[in-house]
Amino acid sequence: MDWLEQELKNALERKAPSPDFAERVRRRTRGDGFRTALWPQRWLAAAAALLVLAGAGMGYRQYQGNQARQQVMLAFRIAGAKVNHIQAQVKERMR
């Protein structure tokens, strides 16, 4: 038998549980264990993620609003320049 087979045999052989095994199982099934202790942390992490997503969404909406405002202002400037150009041509032809 080579060394790998021997290592596998040792790793997979039957072993007696630790003395506190039964108490740990009881504690976990009652809800006093590790899993129950993580619930508040999981809820806090989920709430934090939700707040980050909501903040990012609001920031993106504000960005979109600023982009729209800039486009409207550009359109007004272009329209104003065209109106001024047309008024100048009308005044010139009226002379």
Q: pTM, whole model, 2 decimals?
A: 0.48
State the chain's maximal CA–CA distance in angstroms.
113
- Taking the chain (95 residues) in runs of 10, the rounded mean pLDDT of each run is 85 88 81 63 91 95 96 97 95 87
CB crowding 11-50: b at 16 or more within 10 Å, else e: eeeeeeeeeeeeeeeeeeeeeeeeeeeeeeeeeeeeeeee
pLDDT of residue 42: 85
